[in-house]
Amino acid sequence: MPTDHSRTFVLVRLAALAQAVVAAAVVGAPCAVAAPTCPVQDGVGDSASTAAAAMTLDLRTQPIELGTVRWLRDLGAAQAAARERGLPILLCFQQVPGGDEHREFGATALSHPLVVDTIEEHFVPLCILNNAEGVDAEVLARFGEAPWNHTALRVIDADGATLVARVEILRTTNMLCEWLLHTCDALERPVPHHLDLVRDETLTYDHPQWIALATFGLADARAGERHIGGLEGVLRTRVGRIDGRPVVEVEFDHRRLPYADLVASVASTGGLERIHTHDQMQARLARRTHRDLVKDLTQAAEPVEPAEQFHALRRTPLAHLPLSTVQCTKINAALRTDPSSATSSGANDAASFEPPLAHFLSRRQLTELERLRAVLAREPEAFAGWLPPTRTDALWEYRVRFEQRLDEFEAQAAGDAAAPSGS
């Protein structure tokens, strides 16, 4: 059965889609994320250009079961694109309209921006309906798929041969991430690190027993946030205050980073002032080495302003990019230059990172960043106040609005460049 979280995600996804449609209607332009919705006759799509054209149809009519992936709907077009791009085909058999499980999978796993980026950048995405007649039914029979079935995925080459065996009932984002990571390994292709981050991020929902919270009072919360965020096993950090004093809250995977090791790493920075323990186990472990610093957690930390979270990151153009909180945590930790000279709008673009940004971002995000830098070079305050949401289920809608705003400023710049001089 769908969880309360996933049901909420479905409702938010529908609300976000409605908002995007309204926004597109207001500006008189299609949504920033487009997707094919109309099937093409088998064999008509005989070139990759046909496939590319099919991938620009309007998302506004795409069923929720298909998420926000820009699917091709014709096997011939997908095969032509696979040959030209040198990529395997991710073949999804989906029911539209579908039941709760199909809608939930589309609204969550197939709508997570980084999962969508992975599918579109590392595969040629092809969707075949398992409850439709005509061409879809013919492809279904060709691959031995049962009609009216669960969502099923397989990876094939440009000739239709199976590269990665069929799998079904991947009900959650975390399960889909694990399968995509396995698929990249099986195909001996580079594993996109941003997909690792999504896998870690979604552990909270699939395996809450593996996730723990810790809270530390630090002399310099900003430096502590960066140090802690870079630790293997840390998922998210959040700066706050308890009794008016700065703390860093940490969400971590205790299988990969035991609590005692986390405490030792934080203490090694020299700025540890208090350890607010969440349970008796944490208190017992912390008192072994830092008895005088241990305090039982009696109240939740008061959050600071969003602009003060990920302080180093917020003072670069990356502050405005559609990033997940796990991405923000890791990129903030990877910043290797002093961002103190940046403006409040994040105009500092001299930051360097170790590992480099390409390690954390999808290709689409790298393109978004390049476009953003160009806009900020002309209009430094164009994205003042724009920060991505902390909730993953709101990130897709933020990306739509973010890319629409980029489009608007680029169109304005193009119009200014085309205008006669002196006009």
Does residue 334 have a pLDDT over 60? Answer: yes
Does residue 254 have a pLDDT over 90? Answer: yes
Would you place residue 14 in the very low, low, confident or very high pLDDT band (cuts 50, 70, 90)? very low
Lowest mean pLDDT among 66-70, 170-174, 256-260, 345-349: 345-349
CA distance 215 to 242: 10
CA distance 335 to 351: 7
Would you place residue 196 in the very low, low, confident or very high pLDDT band (cuts 50, 70, 90)? very high
* Element at 224 (helix H, strand E): helix 221-229
Would you place residue 13 in the very low, low, confident or very high pLDDT band (cuts 50, 70, 90)? very low
Secondary structure (DSSP) of 98-160: --HHHHHHHHTGGG-HHHHHHHHHHSEEEEEETT--THHHHHHHHTTPPSS---EEEEE-TTS
pLDDT average, residue stretch 91-118: 94
Residue from 217, 212, 205, 260 nearest 236 by CA: 212
pLDDT tens digits along 137-153: 999 999 999 999 999 99
Give every strand in the sheet of 124-129, ordered side by side. Answer: 124-129, 89-94, 152-156, 162-168
Q: Do residues 74 and 44 lie in contact, with contact meaning Cβ atoms separated by under 8 Å?
A: yes
Would you place residue 355 in the very low, low, confident or very high pLDDT band (cuts 50, 70, 90)? confident
Q: Map out the domains of the chain with their CATH numbers.
A: 4-196 (3.40.30.10), 207-303 (3.30.1060.10), 306-409 (no CATH)
pLDDT tens digits along 373-393: 999 999 999 999 999 998 888
Percent pLDDT > 70 in the chain is 82
Does residue 192 have a pLDDT over 50? Answer: yes
Does residue 304 have a pLDDT over 80? Answer: yes
411, two tokens: 């169109």
pLDDT average, residue stretch 267-276: 93
Q: Give the pLDDT score at 422.
A: 58
Would you place residue 419 in the very low, low, confident or very high pLDDT band (cuts 50, 70, 90)? confident
The secondary structure of the chain in percent helix, strand, coil, rounded to multiples of 5, reads: 50, 15, 35
Does residue 154 have a pLDDT over 90? Answer: yes
Q: Give the pLDDT score at 203.
A: 87
- Classified as helix, coil or strand, 369 is helix
Higher pLDDT: 55 or 29? It is 55
CA distance 175 to 262: 27
Q: Do residues 271 and 256 lie in contact, with contact meaning Cβ atoms separated by under 8 Å?
A: no
